[in-house]
Structure 1
Amino acid sequence: MAWFHGLHFNNLRGDLFGGITAAVVALPLALAFGVSSGAGAIAGLYGAIFVGLFAALFGGTSAQVSGPTGPMTVVMATVYTQLIAADPQAGPAMAFTVVMLSGLFQILFGLMRLGRYVTLVPFPVISGFMTGIGLIIILLQLGPLLGFAAGADVLLAFKALPTQLATLDPASLSLGVMALVILFFWPSTLALWLPAPLAALILGTLMALWGFADSDLAVIGAIPTGMPGWHLPSFSAEHLQLMLTSALMLAALGAIDSLLTSLVADNMLKTQHRSNRELIGQGLGNLVSGLFGGLPGAGATMRTVVNVRAGGRTPLSGAVHALLLLAVVLGAGPLAEKIPLAVLAGILIKVGLDIIDWNFLRRAYLAPPFVLFLMVLVLLLTVFVDLIVAVGTGVFLANLYTVKRLSDLQLGELRLVQADDAGLDQIERRMLQHCGDRLAIYRINGPISFGAAKGIHARLRSDQGHEALVLDLHGVSYIDVSTALTLEEIILEIKAGQRLIYLVGMKPDVEQVLKRMRVLQHLRTDQVCEDREQALGRACRVLAVDVAVGGDPASDSDGMAIAAAETTAARFKERPPS
C-alpha cells in the first residue's frame, strides 16, 4: 500500500458512495468540457477517467477527485483550435501530445520537489486569471445557449452576440435557461441523491425529446463506445515552441488548481496532503489521458467536496468515480447522444459563474490600488489577449512590486550611527567622537535583496562628507549574488574617491558569498574586521597618519595599518576626544 497514499479499506461504504456521487456530478461536466474544448464529448470523459484514476491512486491527497476543469479546458480549447488551424491533419495528435507533455512537466515538478512553491502565485494574479477564465467560459457558451455553434475565439463570440440575440432559437434558449434555473434552485435535500448538474442534464434532455421534438436542436451526436485507441505523440518543428509553451502552461495551471483543491480537502478532513506526490499523480494522469485522447485535468474542487461530504476518505473513492465513468463509456454512450448542446451550455455557464472570484470582487474597492490594478489587468489580458501572457505579466509585475516593497523596508534598516547611539560601548563612542565628521558608521539589519542593495548604494554614494566608512553587517542574515556585486560597486567607488571602507561582523554565509564572487579581494585584510571597535581603531589610526604626513590612506601598507591599530583602543581609553 506504500504506492497508494492514504489507501485502506476501513471506509469501504463511504468511499463507494462518495465515488458514485462524484461520478454523477462529473458526468455532465465531463461531457460539457469535452464539447467546449472542440475535441468532442468523449475526450472529456476520457480525461475524467484517466486523470481521475491515476491521480487518485498515485497522488498525494487521499480524497481528491480529479478530472477536466474549466481553466484547463479553456487552455486546451485554445491549443486545439490553434493546432487544428495550423495543420488540420496532424493538429489533433499534436494537441493530445501537448497534454502528454504537460503530464511530463508535472511529474518533473514533483521530482524536483516544487510542490510547496507552486501555490505561491500572488493572489491578485490567481483572482484575475480565474475571473477571466470564468468570463471566457460564459462568453463562449452564450452562442450555444442561443442556438448557435460554439466558437473558440472570445472576441468573435463577443462581436457575434448582437446578431445572435436578434435571431436566437427560442427552444435552445428555453432549455438553457431551464438548466440554469435547476442549477441555481435545486433543493439541497434532493441534491444528496441527485446532484443539480445531473438533474439539469436529465430533465433538459427529456424536455428536448418530449417538448421540442419538432425543433432542430443541436445535440452532442454520436459518441464512440468501447475502449479508447492510442494517440501516439506527434511533433512538428514548426509548432514545437507553441506546443512546449502550452504544455508548460497546462502543467503549471493544473498544479496550482490541484494543490489548492488539496488544501480544501485537508481543511475538510483535517489531513495533510503530500504536494510533490500529488504533482506526480496528476502528471501520470495527464500523460495517460493524452495518450488515449483525453482532456487534461486537475484536482476538481466541487467534485472533491461532493466526494468528501458523501463519505469519501481514501483514493478508492476517486478510483470508483473513474471506473463508473468508464462503464458509461463502454455501454451508455448512445444514451448521451441526444443531450442538447443548449443544456450543456447552461451547465457550463453556471461553472463559469462559480469560477469568477466573487468573494474578491465584492470587496475590490477596499483593496490597495495596485492589487486592484493587477487583478483587473490580468483579467483583461486573460479574456482579450492570451492566457500565458496574462499569467506571465501578472507574476512579473507582482514580483516587481514585492521587490520594491521589500527593498523599501530593508532600506529603512540602513541608518547612520551617531556617537550617542545606545548600541555603542564607551570605547567606540569615544573613537567616533574623536574622528568627528571624518568617519561614519552605517548599520544594516536583516536580509539584503538586490533592490535594497541598489538603494544602499545610492545612499552611500550621496555620502561624500566622510573620509572613512564602516559598514556594520552584524545584523545582515543573507545576501545573494546580485547584492554581492552591488557591494563590489560600492567598494570600488569609495576606493576611487580616495576614501576608506571597512566591513564589520559578516556572518559565515554572507562572507562565503562575498569570497566566492571575489568581492573581498578589493579590500586589504585590515579592512575586514570582526567587530566595530577593531574597525574604528584601524580607521582612526589611518586617518591620524593621513593628517600627520599627508599621505594617501589607501596606499598605507597592510602591516603598518594592522600594527598601528593594535594599540588604538588602549590609547583612546586614556585620552579624551579632541
Structure 2
Amino acid sequence: MHHSSDFWGGLAAMMVALPAAIAFGVTVFSAIEPQYAAFGALSGVLGAMALGLVAPMFGGTDRLISAPCAPAAAVLSAFAIEMTQQGVDPDGIVLMMTVLGLLTGLLQIMIGFLGFGRLIKYVPYPVVCGYLSGVGLIIVGSQLPRFAGAPAGTAWLEVLTRPQQWDWRGLVIGAVTVLVMLVSRRFVKAVPATITGIAAGLLAFAAIAAGEPALFALEDNPLVIGRLHAPGTGYIGLLADHWNQIGMLQLAQVGGLVGNALTLAALLSIDTLKTCVVLDQMTRTRHDSDRELVAQGLANVVSSGIGGMPGAGTVGASLVNLESGARTRVSGIVEGLLTVAAALAFGAFIAWLPVAALSGVLIVVGLRMIDTDSLRFLESTSTLIDFLVVLAVVGVALTVGLIAAAAVGVVLSVMLFLREQVGGVVLRRKSFVGERSSTWYRPEHEMRILEARGRSAVIFELQGSLFFGTAQQLYRTLEPELAATAYMILDLQRVQSVNVTAAHTLKLARAALAERGVPLILCSVRERLPNGRNLREFLELSGLDADGETVIYLPTLQAAIEWVEAKILAQGAVAEREDRPPLELHEIELFRGSKPETLTDLEACLEKRSWKAGETIFARGEPGDELFLLRQGQVKVMGYIGRGLALKHIATYGRGDFVGGLSFLDRRPRSNDAIAITDCEMYVLSKEKFDYLAEEHKRIAFVLISKLARMLAIRLRHTNEELAILQDN
C-alpha cells in the first residue's frame, strides 16, 4: 500500500524537482560562457539523479526530496562570475566547481558526524531570513539578462537601464512563464506550477517560431538550451580529465575553496533542516539532523563526483511529494529513479526548453525565497533591531558577496544572543531565612527565634547566564546586602553558565563580606552545566576556594538554610547537642506548661522505644496507629513526589518534636517514610492507649489533641507563608 503512494508522490516530486534542477544548472554554467548552458542542463539532471537516489538511502527523513536548489545556484553562480572576472579558463572553472561541491559534501558529512547538525537549527531567524532573502534577490538579478534576452555578461542593472538590449522573444516567453506559474497555483492545483509555467513557455516559443522557421533548428538557436553535451571531449572525457586534474591539485588551491565550501555547506544544511522541520510539523514526526546531514553530504559528494550540481532537501518538491500521498523515504528513491528514466526518455525534449522559460521559473523561485514577513518587524520598536539584522545581511549579500554575508550573519547571531542574555534577569528570587524554613521542623520556641532573626540571612536564587554582559547586574543585585547581611546564600541551581568576569564579581562580593567576617555560602553548584563545564571546579580555579570561613559550598539550598539556622540558633543559645540526656515528658514541646499530675497519668500510657541510625521508624502504607515523640536524636521524613513517585527528603525533626501526627489524627495509612538519622529515643503513644485515655481521662486526651492540633497548625501556617512567597516571586 505504501509503495503505491510512494510511487505517485515520487512521480509528482520529480515533475517539480527536475525542471528546477535543469534551470539551476543552466544558470550556473551559462555564467561561465553561454555555450556551457547545455552542460549546465546536464549537470542539473545528474545532480537530481544523484541527490534523489543517495540522500534517501542514507537519510532517515520520510518524504524528503533532495535536489539541486536555489542557494547552491546562487553561490555557484557568484563563484563562476568571480572566476571569470579573474580570467580563469572555462574548463578550470568547471574543475574548481567540482572540487567545491566535493568539499561541501565532505564538510556536511563532518558536521553530521561531529553532532553539530542540531546547532544549525539555532541560527537566529532574522539571520536566516536575511540570508535566504539575499539569495533570492541574487537569483532574480542573475536571471534578468536571460529573461530579457540580453547579451551574455550583461549586468542586471544595465539590462534595466538599456531596453534596447532586450530581445522581445525571450521577454515574451519569460513573461508568459512567470504569469502562468503565478496564476496556475490558484486554479490548477493538480499540476505543479513549474510544469504549467514551462509548458506555457514552450507554447509561447512555438508561437514565435511559427513566424520564424529558423527557430525550429537547435543549432545556433539562442532561445533554447540545445543538445545536452559536455564541451570538448564529451561528458566521459571531461569527467575523466577532471579526476586526473583533481589528483594533481595542490593543497593551497584546495584550501582557497574552503571559505566558499563552508558557506555552501552551511546554506545547504540550513535549507535541508528547514525542510525537515516543516515536514516534522506537518506529519508529527521527528527527524535526525545529524544523520540527515551525513546523507546529504554523501549525496553531494556523489553528485559532484559525476559532474552534477550539489543540492539539499527542498521544500517545494517535498511538499508536493507529501501532498501526493507519499509515506516513506522510498518516495525519494522513486523520484531519483524516475529522474534517470525521464533523462533517458526525454533528453531530446530537454534540449528544446527555452532559456527564458527557465529564467522565469527561477525568478518566481527567487521571489518566493524573499521573506516579506520580516517587514512586520517594523511595526514595533522591540523588533526594529531584528529588521536591521535582516537588512544588513541582505545588503552585504548583494554588495559584497555571500561569504561576507555568512560572516556578518555569524557576528550578528552572536550579537543577538548577547542582546538576549544581557536583557535577561539574573535574579529569580530574593528571600530571607526567616521566610524560608529548611526541611528541619523545629520546636516552636526555635521557630520564633528564626522568624525574629531570619532577616539577617539573605537568599539569592540566581538564574540564566552569568557572564560579562550580566556581571554588573549581578553585582547591583548583591550590593545592597553586602554591608548589612549576616549570612548570604547564593543558590546556583538554575544558572546555565558562568564566565571569568562573573566569577570575579563573586570574588568582589566575597571580599566585601569577608571584611565583616561574613561567609559567602554557595549552594547547588553543579559539577556539569549544560555547556559541559564543571562549575565547582571552575569557581575554585577562579579563586573561590572552599576555605570554611569566607566561602562555603553546600549541596542544596535546603542544606544551606539548615546550616544558617543552626548558626542563628547557636547564637541564641539553643543549639542542638546530641550529648545531652534524653528529654523527659515535661521537656517535650508538645507538653510544655502542662500540669505535673496530667503528665504523670499520660506517661503511664507511653512506651519508651529506641532506634539505631538508619532504621525505619514507619513506612508508607503502614497503619497510622502510633504517635512518636522524640526524646533524643533526629528523624528524616521521605515523601513520594510526582507521577514517578520518586522518594525525596521533605522534612527533618529533632529533640522535642513529634512525627506521625497526621495519620494519628485522621487514622489513615502512612503517606511517607520516617527514618532515623541518628540513634533515637522516643515516647510512643498507641491508639489503643489513647482510646483508654479518652475514656478514663477525658481532660488529658483533650489537652493532647489540642496541643497536637496547635503544633500542626503552626507547621501548616509556616508552609502557607512559604507557598505565598513562591507564588509572589
How does the TM-score come out when normalised to structure 1?
A: 0.80
List alignment gaps of at least 5 residues for structure 1: 1-9, 538-565
Q: Which has the higher contact order (CA 8 A, sep 6+)?
A: 1
Which of 108, 115, 118 pairs up with 1:113? Answer: 115
Partner in structure 2 of residue 525 of structure 1: 548
CA, structure 1 residues 208+321, in 2 after alignment: closer, same or farther (shift >3 Å)?
farther
Partner in structure 2 of residue 407 of structure 1: 422
Which of 178, 181, 185 pairs up with 2:179? Answer: 181
Give, in angstroms, the shift of residue 311 of structure 1.
2.4
The answer as to 2:9 corresponding to 1:18 is yes
Give, in angstroms, the shift of residue 321 of structure 1.
2.0
Partner in structure 2 of residue 69 of structure 1: 69
Distance 1:250 1:520 in 2: 45
Partner in structure 2 of residue 506 of structure 1: 524
Other structure's SS at 1:298 match: strand
Partner in structure 2 of residue 348 of structure 1: 362
Distance 1:200 1:371 in 2: 40
Distance 1:200 1:396 in 2: 45
Give, in angstroms, the shift of residue 284 of structure 1.
0.9
CA, structure 1 residues 309+274, in 2 after alignment: closer, same or farther (shift >3 Å)?
same
Partner in structure 2 of residue 130 of structure 1: 132
Distance 2:563 2:412 in 1: 42
Partner in structure 2 of residue 554 of structure 1: none
Alpha-carbon contact 1:37-1:76 (below 8 Å) kept: yes
Distance 2:95 2:61 in 1: 31
Which letter does structure 2 place at the counterpart of 1:261? T
Give, in angstroms, the shift of residue 395 of structure 1.
3.7
CA, structure 1 residues 362+506, in 2 after alignment: closer, same or farther (shift >3 Å)?
closer
Residues 315-367 of structure 1: CA deviation (Å, up to 9, x unaligned): 33222222232234445333323332211111111111111113443675357
Partner in structure 2 of residue 551 of structure 1: none
Alpha-carbon contact 1:442-1:469 (below 8 Å) kept: no
CA, structure 1 residues 186+43, in 2 after alignment: closer, same or farther (shift >3 Å)?
same
Residues 277-322 of structure 1: CA deviation (Å, up to 9, x unaligned): 2112111110101111111100111111112222222233222222
How well do the aligned residues superpose, as a CA RMSD in angstroms?
Answer: 3.4
Give, in angstroms, the shift of residue 84 of structure 1.
5.0
Alpha-carbon contact 2:7-2:331 (below 8 Å) kept: yes
Other structure's SS at 1:339 match: coil
Distance 2:173 2:460 in 1: 71
Which letter does structure 2 place at the counterpart of 1:472? I
Partner in structure 1 of residue 375 of structure 2: 361
Other structure's SS at 1:271 match: coil
Which letter does structure 2 place at the counterpart of 1:259? L
Partner in structure 2 of residue 377 of structure 1: 392
CA, structure 1 residues 211+395, in 2 after alignment: closer, same or farther (shift >3 Å)?
farther
Distance 2:300 2:352 in 1: 29
CA, structure 1 residues 313+418, in 2 after alignment: closer, same or farther (shift >3 Å)?
closer
CA, structure 1 residues 458+270, in 2 after alignment: closer, same or farther (shift >3 Å)?
closer
Alpha-carbon contact 1:55-1:282 (below 8 Å) kept: yes
How many residue pairs get matched? 527
Alpha-carbon contact 2:426-2:464 (below 8 Å) kept: no
Q: Which moved more, 1:168-177 or 1:311-320?
A: 311-320
Partner in structure 2 of residue 543 of structure 1: none
Other structure's SS at 2:145 match: helix
Other structure's SS at 1:448 match: strand
Alpha-carbon contact 2:427-2:477 (below 8 Å) kept: no
The answer as to 2:233 corresponding to 1:219 is no
Alpha-carbon contact 2:449-2:569 (below 8 Å) kept: yes
Which of 491, 499, 503 pairs up with 1:487? Answer: 503
Partner in structure 1 of residue 537 of structure 2: 515
Alpha-carbon contact 1:428-1:533 (below 8 Å) kept: no
Distance 1:461 1:266 in 2: 45
| Greater helix content | 1
Alignment of 1:331-346 (within 5 A): 332-346=346-360
Which of 316, 320, 332 pairs up with 2:330? Answer: 316
Distance 1:568 1:188 in 2: 77
The answer as to 2:190 corresponding to 1:192 is yes
Partner in structure 1 of residue 209 of structure 2: 209
Alpha-carbon contact 1:205-1:339 (below 8 Å) kept: no
Distance 2:574 2:130 in 1: 68
The answer as to 2:23 corresponding to 1:32 is yes
Give, in angstroms, the shift of residue 211 of structure 1.
4.4
Which letter does structure 1 place at the counterpart of 2:569? A
CA, structure 1 residues 315+213, in 2 after alignment: closer, same or farther (shift >3 Å)?
farther
Which letter does structure 2 place at the counterpart of 1:95? M
Residues 13-52 of structure 1: CA deviation (Å, up to 9, x unaligned): 2222222222222232111101111262211111111112
Q: Which moved more, 1:324-333 or 1:224-233?
A: 224-233
Residues 433-480 of structure 1: CA deviation (Å, up to 9, x unaligned): 6x7xxxx74613223332455224542796697287854232533353
| Greater strand content | 2
Other structure's SS at 1:446 match: strand
Alpha-carbon contact 1:428-1:536 (below 8 Å) kept: no
The answer as to 2:375 corresponding to 1:386 is no
Alpha-carbon contact 1:50-1:288 (below 8 Å) kept: yes
CA, structure 1 residues 422+290, in 2 after alignment: closer, same or farther (shift >3 Å)?
same
Residues 481-522 of structure 1: CA deviation (Å, up to 9, x unaligned): 525x63145416753996255123233427942325523564
CA, structure 1 residues 117+178, in 2 after alignment: closer, same or farther (shift >3 Å)?
same
Alpha-carbon contact 1:69-1:298 (below 8 Å) kept: yes
Q: Which moved more, 1:497-506 or 1:458-467?
A: 458-467
Give, in angstroms, the shift of residue 534 of structure 1.
7.1
CA, structure 1 residues 462+65, in 2 after alignment: closer, same or farther (shift >3 Å)?
same
Distance 2:305 2:213 in 1: 39
Alpha-carbon contact 2:52-2:67 (below 8 Å) kept: yes
Partner in structure 2 of residue 265 of structure 1: 279
List alignment gaps of at least 5 residues for structure 2: 31-39, 216-220, 439-446, 576-729
Alignment of 1:461-480 (within 5 A): 466=483, 470-480=487-497
Distance 2:140 2:175 in 1: 13
Other structure's SS at 2:278 match: helix
Distance 2:208 2:43 in 1: 24
Alpha-carbon contact 1:430-1:572 (below 8 Å) kept: no
Which of 235, 246, 257 pairs up with 2:260? Answer: 246
Partner in structure 2 of residue 548 of structure 1: none
Q: Which moved more, 1:304-313 or 1:524-533?
A: 524-533
Which letter does structure 1 place at the counterpart of 2:9? G
Alpha-carbon contact 1:514-1:520 (below 8 Å) kept: no
The answer as to 2:440 corresponding to 1:449 is no
Distance 2:484 2:280 in 1: 60
Distance 2:343 2:478 in 1: 72
Give, in angstroms, the shift of residue 145 of structure 1.
1.3
Partner in structure 1 of residue 158 of structure 2: 160
Distance 2:8 2:228 in 1: 27
Distance 2:124 2:336 in 1: 33
Distance 1:177 1:446 in 2: 58
Other structure's SS at 1:127 match: helix
How does the TM-score come out when normalised to structure 2?
A: 0.65
Other structure's SS at 1:477 match: strand
Distance 1:272 1:465 in 2: 50
